[in-house]
Amino acid sequence: MNNNSRRLTKLPAADSGFVLFGALMMLILLTMLGLTMANSFGLQEFIAGNQREKTKAFEAADAALNYAEWWLNQPGNAIMGANCSGVVNAPIVCSNALDAASVATVNWTAGGNAVGSTYTPTNMTISTTGGIGSYYAVPKYYIYYLGASPNTGNYMYQITALGYGGNANAVAVVQSIFQF
């Protein structure tokens, strides 16, 4: 035999599987951690998408509200109003309030009739099929004449506006009291 030959030593039987078992446990632990993180990231993307749609709906409703306030501020538009009984594309001041039950829905009614004026902001894309840069429907608003202010005698209006995000489920309703 060669003096340079190496002698292999045999490990005791109890130690021979411990390293394999420890590595397997670490692999299982890392796999579970990876799956949990993947689930968490998916949920965060879902929440971010919902937040984006909510913000789009709010911005659309706010644009319609701002337009209605601007329109009321133009000469000759701040009037007592007329009985409104339908959806119109032109701004109008109404003397009848929205039905209380319909304010919380997207189907506004006054006196049992569908009502509201529509406003399409510049560069707004409307698409019922959705999309990142599109909105589900045109924002609408309703201007209701409240009467004269008891303090100043100025006309007071309640403006309610509704906007959609990218789908029918993303809806925002905003309201303001405007004194002229």
Give the separation between CA 80 and CA 96, rounded to whole angstroms.
Answer: 10
Give the separation between CA 123 and CA 135, rounded to whole angstroms.
Answer: 11
Report which secondary-structure segment, H or E, holds 40: helix 18-72
pTM (2 decimals)? 0.74
What does the pLDDT profile of the chain (180 residues) look like in tens digits?
555 666 666 655 556 677 888 888 999 999 998 888 877 777 778 888 889 999 999 999 999 999 999 999 999 888 888 888 777 778 888 888 888 777 777 778 777 777 888 888 888 889 888 777 899 989 999 999 998 888 888 889 999 999 999 888 899 999 999 887
